[in-house]
Amino acid sequence: MIDISMDMEQYDCPFIDTTVDPDVAFASVHREFDRTDRQFETRMVVEGEDRGALTNGLSVLRDHGNIADYDLVKRRGDVAQIRTVIEETEAMAAIRSHDGYVTGPFHIEGGSEVWHVGFDRADDASAALSTLERNNEFDVLERENTALPDIQDIVQNAGAAMTLIEGCQDLSDTERETLE
């Protein structure tokens, strides 16, 4: 497996567009692609600089032209959980057209998005990156060939990793800053 992390700037992504002005950040919790409608259903956690920034960011996102559906699941202070349906972006279409797939959560802040995508073959990964260069700006942060024994190690430790992630849900601000 070829695992690629990249910092992506897209020009048709509602989440990236929303982080250009309002002081908000998005973290994907779940993405599911509908092949028929060519749309992604997402679950996102949205964090604002403050309550007002979150309110403004959610409003900008809800009104974006590439949002097909939007639901505010819950909100507390300057953090919200949302469900959206978005049109497939040109960049994600490029990844998918070369048999690529999402391998990890996306983080969107300050007008760009950190992606984690995978490919089964190196030539597919290279072709996808070449296609992306035509209409997007991105930097490859990391490109790694993961061998089968490495993948097995990851799978065997998935339970422990999930326990760690669940423990991070209740971090204080100081604990979160220390980890970042």
At residue 148, the pLDDT reads: 53
CA distance from start to end of the chain: 28
Region label for 77, one of left (φ > 0), alpha (ψ between -120 and 50) or beta (otherwise) = left
pTM assigned to the model = 0.76
Residue pair 89/33 in contact by the 8 Å Cβ criterion: no
Q: What average pLDDT score do residues 105-130 get?
A: 94
Percentage of residues in the chain having pLDDT higher than 70: 88
Provide the pLDDT confidence category of residue 14 given band limits of 50, 70 and 90: very high
Q: What is the pLDDT of residue 178?
A: 78
| Mean pLDDT value across residues 106-127 | 94
For 124-177, write each residue's pLDDT tens digit: 999 999 999 998 999 999 999 876 545 556 566 666 766 666 677 777 778 777
Separation between Cα atoms, residue 164 and residue 174, nearest integer Å: 17
